Amino acid sequence: MVEAVQDAGVVVTGAGGGIGAALARRFAAEGARVVVNDLDAERAKAVADEIGGIAVPGDASAIVTEARDALGGTVDVYCANAGLGSGGTEAADEEVWERAWDVNVMAHVRAARALLPAWLERGEGRFVSTVSAAGLLTMIGAAPYSVTKHGAYAFAEWLSLTYRHRGLKVHAICPQGVRTDMLTASGSAGELVLAPTAIDPSDVADALIKGIEENRFLILPHPDVAAYYQARATEPDRWLTNMNHLQQKWESAR
């Protein structure tokens, strides 16, 4: 077991299924006390009952106080996992863009606002952001998702560089395809780009626990993402051309 996780008070948002449920299960298996959050109260309760955790359903943006109370007054690890896989182009409705910003970025900001005063006072705390490889790269056919996941990554990075000397540990998890309802909902773009190398949610949870043990900020459950990220940074035009070829392939197959 990982010492940093044993008996820790952990909150996982969006944990009624998929990656969130896998994170909750793995933290519980490591000996943590886990609050399971989800908008769907029944799903949150089902996972909490399974792992001996505590269900705190509701909007992920507004559950820090209740979760802290449920854990006896202290949150040690907060997993900002709830997210929306919003597809569409620049022409997506304003409501789609606003909702993506609210869930994929601002929920993280609001949680940090609520958590940081206590964490900085005691000199320790751990913030886990489920970002996605789209936050390092991009995703065809999903402008709101890609843009807001870049925002989520940027916020996690900012938190780390600003507060690491004051005891804050931050982890950004950036998987590609994961076998969840979100992958299914991504349609033909997901089938083309993500499905061929998709992994199970438990693999993401394993990668996070290893990243915590090694105290790494950037956690890549798909190792190939590191090479893609490097190519994007060092040869952006070549990378964009290759991505555009993928876009054209997707368009021709639709």
Query: How big is the chain, counted in residues?
Result: 254
List pLDDT tens digits, range 146-156. 999 999 999 99
Residue 190 has pLDDT above 90, yes or no: no
Q: Report the distance separating Cα 53 and Cα 102, nearest Å.
A: 27
d(CA 233, CA 109): 26
**Residue 228 — pLDDT band, cuts 50, 70, 90?**
very high
What does the pLDDT read at residue 92?
A: 97
Mean of the per-residue pLDDT values of the chain: 96
Contacts of 254 (CB under 8 A, 6+ apart): 188
Backbone angles phi, psi at 251, to 5 degrees: -60, -40
- Mean pLDDT, rounded, for 171-194: 91
| pLDDT given for residue 186 in this prediction | 85
* pLDDT surpassing 90 at residue 20: yes
- Mean local confidence (pLDDT), 89-107: 97
Check if the beta carbon of residue 229 is closer than 8 Å to that of residue 137.
yes
Look at residue 9 in the predicted model and tell me its pLDDT. Answer: 98
Give 59-75 pLDDT, tens digit per residue: 998 999 999 999 999 99
Spell out the residues 6+ positions from residue 28 whose beta carbon is closer than 8 angstroms to its own: 34, 51, 52, 53
The second-level CATH assignment, the architecture, of 9-224 is: 3-Layer(aba) Sandwich (3.40)
Segment of 187-191, 192-196, 243-247, 250-254 carrying the highest mean pLDDT? 243-247
Out of 78, 145, 153, 228, the active site residue is 145
What are the Cα distances from residue 61, in Å, to 46, 67, 134, 176? 21, 12, 22, 25
Is residue 163 annotated as a catalytic residue, yes or no?
no
pLDDT at 3: 85
How many angstroms separate the Cα of 219 from the Cα of each of 150, 198, 208, 209? 15, 16, 7, 10
Summarize pLDDT for 160-171 with one digit per residue, the tens. 999 999 999 999
Q: In the predicted model, is pLDDT for residue 183 greater than 90? A: no
